[in-house]
Amino acid sequence: MNISVLGAGTWGLALARMLALDGYNVTVWSAFKSEVDDLSINRCHKNLPGMVIPDSIVFTEDMAKACRDMGVIVFAVPSPFVRSTAAKAMAYIPDGQIIVDVAKGIEPDTLLTMTEVIKDELNKDGNHQNIKLVALSGPTHAEEVARDIPTAIVSACLDMDVAKVVQEVFSNTCMRTYTNTDVLGVELCGALKNIVALASGVVDGMGFGDNTRAALITRGIGEIRSLGMSMGANIQTFSGLAGIGDMIVTATSNNSRNFRAGQLIGKGVPVPEAVTQIGMVVEGIHALNAAVKLAAKYHVDMPIIMAVDAVVNHGADPRQELARLMVRPKRSEIETTEVETRFESSLYTNRRNKMKRVITYGTFDMLHYGHINLLKRAKAMGDYLIVALSTDEFNWNEKQKKCYFTYEQRKALLESIRYVDLVIPEENWDQKRTDIHDYNIDTFVIGDDWKGKFDFLEEEGAEVVYLSRTPEISTTQIKSDLKK
């Protein structure tokens, strides 16, 4: 398979080398001809000492050549250049192309993640509706991948089949790739963990210890999880390789540019000077503005992110910021998720005791509190209530009822009731027997105006319960009252 890597930085080159050694035909594109020439001839990169670039890798600054007939195109340019690179590549990327983004960051003004930026840019010509975007992210220092040090990474794509294709490409004896479909969660982690890494470097630079760093990492991934959950990410992602995994490797290692930049800042070096000394893109600083905006947009409390923003962008003293974090109002680790915790445990209890399913049948026209009383009591007899709603045809042919509301209207009303979990059509008198089996029903419930009529359902293994009608109210009653 032909694979191209857009971007000849340390990460792009480390991946290109790995893929080439794995037998793929690898092309590396760079925007700079000088860089192309240097890498082609010298076959090494100044920030990857000791790494030899395989001869099979072709370097080019010709985007057409870098995008034609590629099984996979990897975006490995620094996050600020992802959009412009996508714009340059647009004319040459065929629709349906698998694109893997390994750049980590969030676009400051649009708050888009990197795969969203690529999609946004490529959609501008209307010819890229079927692009398959994959976020490849995890605890992966380029320097270590370049030395074939065992590494794990996540291939995230909404389409699991595509995630598996990329998993196949990036799996070998040195790289173990896992799939995920939570692209948003994976990309958020990749972008925002750089900020926590910066904070970790700052406290290290201030001379604080492992305890402080561990506290920052733990609460830092918790802040990112809170934001991610409010944006619709999957909670499991944050305890995975792209989440806590990448956080550990970035916030505890001198390989990390963000950690090293933080150390300098912690030692009192002014931020611009620290960045210059690092000499490469410090993604954590780029991600800060976006993180602060996202925290505000989703009303998520992110004290560590805000403290880093105060130090980096508003000249605050790191010591004072850390002191403030230490004396914030006391918190519990579970208070915010108390409700969720109870709900989850109730689910487990129910699952352990096998969720009980209840079914009831009816027309439910002109929905009124008599119906609600019935549904409320029916739901209370189990954990999941199905309502088999009489269709307009069934009502007319079998019950001589002409409903005021159509089936669809009556269905929408029922589905908005919190006691009702599922509405299915009641099309004939006989479906009850099969419904009991098709829906694994434990209990059949109906008003006692039907008392004795459905006892036969006990033969199907269901409990049959007749509940008292609410006496003074009925659809007929409502209609006649309204007539007066």
User: Residues with catalytic annotation?
Assistant: 193
Using DSSP's 3-state secondary structure scheme, residue 272 falls into helix
Buried b / exposed e across 423-448, counting CB within 10 Å, b at 16+?
bbebeeeebbeebbeebebbbbbbbe
Smallest CA-to-CA distance from 224 within 259, 184, 189 is with 189
Which CB atom, from 149 or from 412, has the smaller least distance to ligand C2G? Answer: 412
Residue in the structure block whose two tokens are 């009850």: 432
DSSP 380: T
In single-letter form, the type of residue at position 102 comes to V
Cβ(95)–Cβ(119) below 8 Å = no
Distance separating the N- and C-terminal Cα atoms of the chain: 79
Q: Are 462 and 444 within 8 A, CB to CB?
A: yes
CB of 123 to ligand C2G, least distance (A): 49
CB of 445 to ligand C2G, least distance (A): 8
Q: Which is nearer to ligand C2G, 159 or 460 (CB)?
A: 460
Distance between CA atoms of residues 408 and 118, nearest Å = 40
The distance of closest approach from Cβ of residue 233 to ligand C2G in the complex, given in angstroms and rounded to an integer, is 41
Name the residue nearer to ligand C2G (CB basis): 59 or 444.
444
Q: Token pair for residue 105? A: 């960051």
Measured from the CB atom, the residue of 238 and 364 that comes closer to ligand C2G is 364
Of 58, 55, 51, 125, nearest in space to 88 by CA = 125
CA distance 484 to 480: 7
Comparison of 39 and 389: residue with beta carbon closer to ligand C2G: 389
Taking the complex as a whole, the smallest distance from the CB of residue 484 to ligand C2G amounts, in Å, to 19
- Tell me the C-alpha distance between 186 and 153, whole Å: 11
Return the number of the residue (244 or 446) whose C-beta is nearest ligand C2G.
446
* CB 380, min distance to ligand C2G, A: 14
Residue 465's alpha-carbon distances to 14, 275, 378, 450, 460, in angstroms, are 68, 72, 9, 10, 14
Angle, in degrees to the nearest 10, between helices 82-89 and 114-122:
30
**Closer of 75 and 361 to ligand C2G (Cβ):** 361
Which residues form the interface with ligand C2G (CB under 6 A)? 360-364, 370-371, 374, 390, 399, 426, 446-447, 449, 469-470, 473-474
Q: How far is the CB of 428 from ligand C2G (least distance, A)?
A: 9
Beta-bridged to residue 422, according to DSSP, are: 386
Identify whether the C-beta of residue 213 lies closer than 8 Å to the C-beta of residue 269.
Answer: no
Quote the least distance from Cβ 376 to ligand C2G, whole Å: 10
The answer to whether 26 and 3 have CB atoms below 8 angstroms apart is yes
Amino acid type, 9: G
Task: Kindly calculate the radius of gyration of the chain based on its CA atoms and give it in whole angstroms.
Answer: 30
Min dist. Cβ of residue 477 to ligand C2G (A)? 8
Instruction: Please state the closest distance from residue 167 (CB atom) to ligand C2G, in A.
Output: 51
Are 353 and 342 within 8 A, CB to CB? no
Q: Dump strand ranges (E) for 408-461.
A: 422-426, 443-447
* Closest residue to ligand C2G using C-beta atoms: 447
Question: Does residue 274 sit in helix, strand or coil?
Answer: helix
Helix (H) or strand (E) holding 339: helix 338-352
CB nearer ligand C2G, residue 299 or residue 418: 418
Closer to ligand C2G by Cβ: residue 364 or 384: 364
Q: Name the token pair of 426.
A: 């009641």
